[in-house]
Amino acid sequence: MRTAIVTGASRGIGRACAITLAAQRFAVVVNYAGSADEAAQVVREIESAGGKALAVQADVASATAVARLFDGAEAAFDGIDVVVSSAGVMTNGPIAEVADDEFDRVIGINLRGTFNVFRETARRVRDDGRLIGLSSTTLALNAPGYGLYNATKGAVEGIVRVAAKELGGRGITVNAVAPGPVETGLFLDGKSEADVQRMAGMAPQKRLGRPDDIAGVVAFLASPQAAWVNGQVVRANGGIA
């Protein structure tokens, strides 16, 4: 059985990726940082549909914790074939007002966390494996307030392209998905209803993305059919940019 690790799989896009990959017969490691109950619920949902899953707590900002996450996956299943690096946090505010501790927190999770996961994947993923990072359509929009967040997502796209060349010789592909606004806590928390509606209205379909809209793209990139897609950033945003 092939194995997938999905970071940040207790909620949102990661959760949808975990459930979608499990439906495609991957044994799935459901990573989370603090939401143990939600992660256990994702595991139950996968198991009740006949799949295999394991919840593993690990803060992606810690290299040691990420190594432990991969150890757990290898111990429970027999190797690692797909890694989805979805764990991330959003921050919003003018560059002039970003505090140092907020900078460290967001860089720690979105950038160092991504790097930790990519490094461990490069060391351990089996031949013909798949690594999928999460960027954002905010990089195309360049809206005020997204300076720090976009800096971390620009880094995701940067490392994807290099990792694709470093690992491609073993049949491994490395790509990113760049969603537009998706109805998860990350997007909705702290926004007024008017702001949510305004951003939903940016898409031709006049709606927000749903986690399954993104999980479908991730699942395609994880599939054998996507073997010739490598080093790419796929925008999944309904057509807003």
Ligand X SMILES: NC(=O)c1ccc[n+]([C@@H]2O[C@H](COP(=O)([O-])OP(=O)(O)OC[C@H]3O[C@@H](n4cnc5c(N)ncnc54)[C@H](OP(=O)(O)O)[C@@H]3O)[C@@H](O)[C@H]2O)c1
Stretch that binds ligand X, among 71-79, 161-169, 182-190, 224-232 (CB under 6 A): 182-190
CA distance 69 to 66: 5
Smallest distance from the beta carbon of 210 to ligand X, in angstroms? 10
Longest CA span, the chain = 51
Per CB under 6 A, 7 contacts ligand X: yes
Cβ atoms of 150 and 136 closer than 8 Å: yes
Q: Which is nearer to ligand X, 3 or 136 (CB)?
A: 136
Q: Which is nearer to ligand X, 34 or 94 (CB)?
A: 34
Smallest distance from the beta carbon of 79 to ligand X, in angstroms? 22
Beta carbons within 10 angstroms of residue 60's beta carbon: 26
**Binding flags for ligand X, 120-159, as an x/- string (CB under 6 A):** --------------x-x-----------------------
Rg over alpha carbons for the chain, rounded to the nearest Å, is 17
Q: How far is CA 184 from CA 14, 76, 109, 181, 201, in A?
A: 10, 30, 18, 9, 17
Beta carbons within 10 angstroms of residue 120's beta carbon: 22
The residue from 23, 24, 35, 76 that contacts ligand X (CB under 6 A) is 35
The residue from 5, 8, 51, 121 that contacts ligand X (CB under 6 A) is 8
Written as one letter, the residue type at 92 is N
- Count of residues in the chain: 241
> How many residues form the binding site for ligand X (CB under 6 A)?
31
Per CB under 6 A, 60 contacts ligand X: yes
What residue ranges bind ligand X (CB under 6 A)?
7-14, 31-35, 59-61, 86-89, 109, 113, 134, 136, 179, 181-182, 184-187
